[in-house]
Amino acid sequence: MLFSFTRSYFHVDLAHVGEVVKFLKTILPLKRVSELFTVLGRAKQGKTERYRELFGHLQQSDDEFIPRAGRRGLVMICFTLPSFDVVFKLIRDKFPYQKNILREDVLTKYELVFKHDRAGRLVDAQEFKLIKFPRSRFSASLLEELQKEAARTVHFEGNDLIIDHVYIERRMTPLNLYLRSASREDAEKARYRIRPGHPRSRRHQHLSGRPAAEELRCDAPRPRDLLRLRRTVPRHGLPFPRDPQSQHDEDDMRADAWFYVGESDVFPETFINSSGSIRT
């Protein structure tokens, strides 16, 4: 969890970052090298390694790119390769009337998230340009959508499909889909993971030293960001347990917590807002 792709980068002054990545790989064998470089603040090297991983995987697999599971996006076309755990996101040529924004606005927002806003609403995404894929690796339905909805971004050269601009990020499960198949116990746990807003929580201790949960609270997620279809469930996450209710007046007067608090537990109901009152 400490080196998760859902949290802010470390900014570490290392003479040989490759040696650190090699060491981390020995204790985190399932973590991709690209994510280790990225989380250590080497975004360009992480991007290069992700490119190598992706096209190395394409040479060893034969499944097709398909639309990502979940509700169709109004701004982005999202697709994935089932055997590779990332999502590809292309900006649509036109947006419906509900979205009063321009393509340039979308690009600006992604740039803001990457450079400045590290405790907001988007999971870490890497920007790629002019990527060439074999046309045969795309499902018929996805090819049709790309040709119809993203003609400004996608074109063909012989047997290849060229994508002029795309964002790539780790694949996660939309919360509304997860809840359909999860057990009641798992569904209750998912409701309290540290994933408010469109997914992008960050490291437990942000650069300011404040817990990630406080960073998110200060970021003030919008009401529509709390919809289940706009939240996701990662493999790991911080639980948000309910604030325990005391049975005795003496408990409320104690200096320390009278109930058990685990190392990763966060109680949003106890956050203090700017006026000094309890946030509920």
Task: Catalogue the active-site residues.
Answer: 124
Whole-number Cα distances in Å, 199 to 5, 149, 180, 202, 252: 11, 25, 19, 10, 35
CB of 132 closer than 8 Å to CB of 162? yes
